[in-house]
Amino acid sequence: MENANPTVPQRLKPRKTPIQARSGVTVEAIHEAAIQVLLADGLARLTTTRVAERAGVSVGTLYQYFPNKEALLFAILQRHFEEMAESLERVSLHGRKRPLSDLADSLADAYVAVKIARPEATTALYRVAGAIDQFRLSTGVYKRLQDAVVRALANASDASFNDVERVAFTLLSALAGVSRGTFGKLVSGSEVLDRLRDETRLLSRAYLKAAADARPSV
């Protein structure tokens, strides 16, 4: 749709969205190739030519979908956020009432699962986010993340919130901060990932309990 993501500058938008299965496979191969080039050569040496070669397609084919390198990097970052949204959405999939502590753990685990599935790729994506304006990402993907948390918290059997959208925003912001700090320290050892799940669970439980216990301001 022409103006589906008005917050995204035109230069960062894909030229077209794959419709047929074959086109989807091609775009997926380009995305994966971009990650591989980032890991192998770093952001400074990533070019559309290198990515096309790694993906096994012509540069012309790559340009059919992405007008420039920045648009490609923006697309893989967008996809990462969409994967996080899908993971968080699964927490409330069945709509069962559950204790808040269980939901807190599930939300933290869903967030972390996407980050640690491929730690090196996640580290590379944080570098991408620093090189391009990630705040230009579609507001739709941020809303999906927040809505997923709101739906999950609606299933708490022993808690409620004065402003659940604000709670969801704050929780996601806190999880993002811990994750960013963790992957920034990977250079000093992968053992920091071993603590990530425990720390995000602790953060999620403590904050959500405090938010549920908070009284309305007068």
Which regions of the chain does DSSP assign to beta strands (E)?
A: none
In a domain, 26, yes or no: yes
Residue-wise pLDDT for 121-148, tens only, equals: 898 888 888 777 665 666 788 999 999 9
**Host domain of residue 68:** 10-213
In a domain, 1, yes or no: no
Q: How many domains does the chain have?
A: 1
Q: Is the pLDDT assigned to residue 48 strictly greater than 50? A: yes
Q: Is the pLDDT assigned to residue 4 strictly greater than 50? A: no
Q: Is the pLDDT assigned to residue 218 strictly greater than 80? A: no
Average of per-residue pLDDT values in the chain: 87
What is the Cα–Cα distance from 101 to 128, expressed in whole angstroms?
34
Q: How far apart are the first and last CA of the chain?
A: 45
Task: At 85, list the tokens.
Answer: 């949204």
Q: What is the CATH number of the domain that holds 119?
A: 1.10.357.10
Q: Is the pLDDT assigned to residue 6 strictly greater than 90? A: no
In a domain, 4, yes or no: no
In a domain, 134, yes or no: yes
In a domain, 3, yes or no: no
| 16 contact partners, CB below 8 Å, separation of at least 6 | 64, 65
In a domain, 5, yes or no: no
